A and B are shown apart, each in its own frame.
Chain A
Amino acid sequence: MTPRADVAITGVGVVTAAVIGDSAALGAFLGAPSPPSGPALSPGAVATLIDPTEARRLSRVCQLTIAAARLALRESRLDPAAGLGLVIGTEFGDLASTHDFADGFLARGPAGLSALLFPNTVMNTMVATTAIAVGAREMALTLNAPTVAGELAVARGAAAVASGRVPAVLAGGVDELDSVVERELAHLGLGGERRGDGAAFVVLESREAARARGATVLGEVSAAAWRALPARPWGVGRMRRSRAIDAALRAAGARPADVSWVYASASGDEPRDRWEADVLGAALGTRAPVSSLGRLLARHAGLGALRVAAAAWTARSGLLPIVNGTTRLERVPPRRGLVHGLARGGAHVALVVDAA
């Protein structure tokens, strides 16, 4: 049985085309949500977030990761030396460096191979560089998953804190736009959704530890669960009963009626979005309003963690951004909501988020 988590969120860091900053910046954006001018962060925006040495040395996706991780850590005022883990979800990793590495060989043979680029072809390069940048020396994981990598990272991080394996975790996601990916997803018939790039992180620690050090608790992950529904890889299934939602609600000691609102992963992949709507409907009924930030912000792995941070904001403010053609704010009962992600292939994640 999935155990209760009771994990505090004490820091938020978001680096996306629509919003850059900590929980206050995210709250300001969510309070007056508007679509970004484009799906990708401008090069100038990225350059302002890290020091020039890092800008020269690190790939763009690593820069995004480090910038968002530092923002979250700064807000939490947590000392990494006390024991900090790192869990990063990503769908495509540092694919740009992988292209560059391969292109070097294709252009010049073995002489064109870059020893500096090679480590970036391994998907854990963002973890490796961020661990160094922020001094995270405990467990460090890169989780690769379609669609739900970011929320999966937060769920896994919350579980690690809840079990006492690590005192605190920086958990989140990152991805960047890649022209080859866009072209191939379109070829696979998966080009319908809006894809963006960026990174988002939350700092997770036990409620007691956060209170003991006087940290501001922005919200709580009361329970987190991840399971798989039957579906072929890249396919959309038919089963509606979500064992992840069941397990998360059970662990939180909550009934479906206790969930006042939902942040879903819908982002314009219509078959998958319909499946998720069916799953949510079967688990919770149609009473709880659903926010689909992916339709506004475009989807990337960072969005999973961003939605967890947004859920903490909704739990505090009682406001939920509804994206449905137009974007508006709806007043909802605060306190308890659900963050949900469902991927083609059936992986799905559910997190119960409460006010502090």
Chain B
Amino acid sequence: MSRVVVTGLGAASPFGAGIVAYWKGLSGGVCAIRELTLIDTQSFRCRIGAEVSGPLAGSARRTRADRLAIGAAAEALADAGLGARDRRSAAVVVGAVGGGMLEAEAWYWHGAGDPRPASLRGVLPCAQAEALASRFRIGGPRHTVVTACSSGAVALSEAAALIADGVVDVALAGGVDSITRICFMGFNALKLLDPTPCRPFDRERRGMSIGEGAGFVVLESEAHARGRHARVYATLAGYGTTTDAYHVTAPDPDGDGMVRAMRAALGHAGAAPHEVQYANAHGTGTPQNDRIEARALARVFGEGGLLVSSSKSMIGHTMAAAGSLEAIATVLALEHGVVPPTASLTTPDPDVPFDCVPHASRPAALTCAISNSFGFGGQNVTLLFRRGVA
């Protein structure tokens, strides 16, 4: 099986366009969760979220999700320095949930009458993969995965599988979601949203904050990357995907599915638990999820066995983009030797037996880290990265 390396990164995050802005915000511990402007939040208890600010890539006729994806993917492809020939046979794997729902909602809200916006063509989750393949002339395997909040991470594991199996040498993979009314209202209905910016792993945490964005990476076989002298950020050394088969919205209270995903990633990478120094946690900020994830981390790595932080404390839960944006955060942590913080953590929860890096980022000589993503339906993914080519 081919070893899979990361050679390009791209982000459209609540910190703005680009990887530089993303890392500056994360490492600076900046919270980008603010009053929502994209949708009407009147009469809801929670009225905040993390929107992508600034101009978006692509034509205004496209859906917001298309434009977020195009911006992040263009950056990742340029960062990797991929030529047209490589793109022609590359795979594109996208994790998506809402697709162009924001625009479809606006139309449906007004009685589904004419005129229909052209962007309605982009309503399905697969629209972003179609748009990227068309825009960047990517002709290899194309698929869109929907595993709820872990979709972006699953896209990376799916792309890595295609490379490891020898189907392709190169893949563009990532996740994208724009804020939608249905998502905002749904989490309100479930009473899972904190009216103030979320506080993962804090004893006083009250729920999550929604966000939006896109994160894309270029994955390659090590041989292909070496052959073209590409810069290698990290090796995607292992991944594990499991299903709780327990409940449609609640995680297995014992965290068994999470534990199996983390152990599968370790096993796939041939890594021992003590080698992993940092976990970029799923860390949503809901009382139940954080407690169960902490318990699962402790079962695999031992209490206090590694540093843990949640990017969602700064960019909110970016849904299908979360898994890929957080994978990128993990890669950047390895690259820079800096663990981004859990920005809003003031009162550590005694049920979370880890140093969750409160407030400020911390220098750390990292060589191996994981990124956890867990979705509705008990869809668990762990990605394990090693620094450079390892």
A-side interface residues toward B, CB under 8 Å?
A: 1-3, 86, 91-93, 98, 101-102, 105-106, 109-110, 113-115, 118-119, 121-125, 127-129, 131-132, 135-146, 152, 156, 159-160, 162-163, 165, 180, 184, 187-188, 225-234, 243, 247, 345-347
Residues of A within 8 Å of B139, CB to CB, are 227-230, 243
Residues of B within 8 Å of A160, CB to CB, are 161
Residues of B within 8 Å of A142, CB to CB, are 145-147
Q: Quick one: CB contact mask for B223-259 with A, threshold 8 Å, 1 for yes?
A: 0000000000000000001111111110000000100
The answer to whether A136 and B243 have CB atoms under 8 Å apart is: yes
If A143-B143, A146-B126, A233-B122 touch, whether A124 touches B148 (CB-CB below 8 Å) is yes
The answer to whether B182 and A123 have CB atoms under 8 Å apart is: no
B-side interface residues toward A, CB under 8 Å?
A: 43-44, 92, 96-97, 105, 108-109, 112, 116, 120-122, 124-127, 130-131, 133-134, 137-148, 154, 158, 161, 164-167, 181-182, 185-191, 241-249, 257, 260, 375-379
Which residue of B140, B154, B165, B377 contacts A128 across the interface (Cβ within 8 Å)?
Answer: B377
The answer to whether B142 and A228 have CB atoms under 8 Å apart is: yes
If A3-B165, A101-B182, A142-B146 touch, whether A137 touches B140 (CB-CB below 8 Å) is no
Residues of B within 8 Å of A118, CB to CB, are 182, 185-187, 189-190
If A102-B182, A124-B146, A132-B245 touch, whether A230 touches B137 (CB-CB below 8 Å) is yes
Interface of A is mostly: mixed
The answer to whether A163 and B161 have CB atoms under 8 Å apart is: yes
The answer to whether B243 and A233 have CB atoms under 8 Å apart is: no
The answer to whether A139 and B242 have CB atoms under 8 Å apart is: yes
The answer to whether B144 and A228 have CB atoms under 8 Å apart is: no
**Cα distance, A160 to B143, chains bound together (Å):** 15
The answer to whether B375 and A113 have CB atoms under 8 Å apart is: no
Q: Can you spell out 24 A-B residue pairs with CB atoms less than 8 angstroms apart?
A: A1-B167, A2-B166, A86-B243, A98-B182, A102-B108, A114-B189, A118-B190, A121-B186, A125-B248, A131-B243, A132-B245, A136-B245, A138-B243, A140-B241, A140-B377, A144-B144, A159-B167, A162-B165, A163-B161, A180-B112, A188-B121, A228-B139, A228-B141, A234-B121
Nearest B residue to A113 via CB reads B189
The answer to whether A141 and B378 have CB atoms under 8 Å apart is: no
Please provide the 4 A-B residue pairs with the shortest distance between their CB atoms, ordered closest to farther.
Answer: A128-B377, A118-B186, A113-B189, A233-B130
**Cα distance, A114 to B126, chains bound together (Å):** 26
With both chains docked as a complex, state the minimum distance between the C-beta of A207 and any C-beta of chain B, in angstroms.
18
If A110-B44, A122-B148, A345-B130 touch, whether A128 touches B242 (CB-CB below 8 Å) is no
With both chains docked as a complex, state the minimum distance between the C-beta of A15 and any C-beta of chain B, in angstroms.
21
Nearest B residue to A228 via CB reads B142
The answer to whether B257 and A91 have CB atoms under 8 Å apart is: no
Nearest A residue to B43 via CB reads A110
With both chains docked as a complex, state the minimum distance between the C-beta of A269 and any C-beta of chain B, in angstroms.
15
With both chains docked as a complex, state the minimum distance between the C-beta of A229 and any C-beta of chain B, in angstroms.
7
Residues of B within 8 Å of A91, CB to CB, are 124
**Cα distance, A105 to B143, chains bound together (Å):** 32
The answer to whether B144 and A145 have CB atoms under 8 Å apart is: yes
With both chains docked as a complex, state the minimum distance between the C-beta of B318 and any C-beta of chain A, in angstroms.
15
Interface of B is mostly: mixed
The answer to whether B245 and A137 have CB atoms under 8 Å apart is: yes
Which residue of A3, A92, A184, A229 contacts B166 across the interface (Cβ within 8 Å)?
Answer: A3
Which residue of A2, A109, A119 contacts B167 across the interface (Cβ within 8 Å)?
Answer: A2
The answer to whether B188 and A110 have CB atoms under 8 Å apart is: yes
Residues of A within 8 Å of B167, CB to CB, are 1-3, 159, 225, 247
If A113-B189, A140-B379, A144-B124 touch, whether A226 touches B143 (CB-CB below 8 Å) is yes
Most buried by A among B43, B131, B138, B248: B248
With both chains docked as a complex, state the minimum distance between the C-beta of B286 and any C-beta of chain A, in angstroms.
14
With both chains docked as a complex, state the minimum distance between the C-beta of A85 and any C-beta of chain B, in angstroms.
8
With both chains docked as a complex, state the minimum distance between the C-beta of B43 and any C-beta of chain A, in angstroms.
5
If A109-B43, A226-B141 touch, whether A137 touches B242 (CB-CB below 8 Å) is yes
**Cα distance, A123 to B148, chains bound together (Å):** 8
**Cα distance, A93 to B189, chains bound together (Å):** 21
**Cα distance, A132 to B257, chains bound together (Å):** 13
With both chains docked as a complex, state the minimum distance between the C-beta of B197 and any C-beta of chain A, in angstroms.
21
The answer to whether B376 and A144 have CB atoms under 8 Å apart is: no
Known: A109-B43, A127-B377, A141-B145. 9 other contacts (CB 8 A): A1-B166, A3-B165, A113-B188, A137-B245, A137-B257, A143-B144, A159-B167, A184-B116, A230-B137
The answer to whether B379 and A146 have CB atoms under 8 Å apart is: no
The answer to whether A144 and B96 have CB atoms under 8 Å apart is: yes
Residues of B within 8 Å of A156, CB to CB, are 143
Residues of B within 8 Å of A93, CB to CB, are 146
With both chains docked as a complex, state the minimum distance between the C-beta of A70 and any C-beta of chain B, in angstroms.
14
Which residue of A119, A139, A143, A233 contacts B134 across the interface (Cβ within 8 Å)?
Answer: A233
**Cα distance, A124 to B376, chains bound together (Å):** 8
Residues of B within 8 Å of A346, CB to CB, are 133, 142
Residues of B within 8 Å of A347, CB to CB, are 130, 142-143
With both chains docked as a complex, state the minimum distance between the C-beta of B187 and any C-beta of chain A, in angstroms.
8
**Cα distance, A159 to B159, chains bound together (Å):** 13
Residues of A within 8 Å of B164, CB to CB, are 163
**Cα distance, A33 to B190, chains bound together (Å):** 47
The answer to whether B116 and A187 have CB atoms under 8 Å apart is: yes
Residues of B within 8 Å of A228, CB to CB, are 92, 133, 138-142
Most buried by A among B124, B166, B186, B245: B245
Nearest A residue to B126 via CB reads A144
With both chains docked as a complex, state the minimum distance between the C-beta of A327 and any C-beta of chain B, in angstroms.
32
Residues of A within 8 Å of B127, CB to CB, are 233
With both chains docked as a complex, state the minimum distance between the C-beta of B256 and any C-beta of chain A, in angstroms.
9
Residues of A within 8 Å of B146, CB to CB, are 93, 122-124, 142-144
Which residue of A106, A124, A163, A234 contacts B165 across the interface (Cβ within 8 Å)?
Answer: A163
If A1-B166, A122-B376 touch, whether A115 touches B189 (CB-CB below 8 Å) is yes
**Cα distance, A146 to B123, chains bound together (Å):** 12
**Cα distance, A156 to B45, chains bound together (Å):** 42
Residues of A within 8 Å of B165, CB to CB, are 2-3, 159, 162-163
Which residue of B44, B138, B166, B242 contacts A138 across the interface (Cβ within 8 Å)?
Answer: B242
Residues of B within 8 Å of A165, CB to CB, are 161
Nearest A residue to B377 via CB reads A128
**Cα distance, A232 to B137, chains bound together (Å):** 10
Nearest B residue to A118 via CB reads B186
Nearest B residue to A145 via CB reads B126
With both chains docked as a complex, state the minimum distance between the C-beta of A153 and any C-beta of chain B, in angstroms.
9
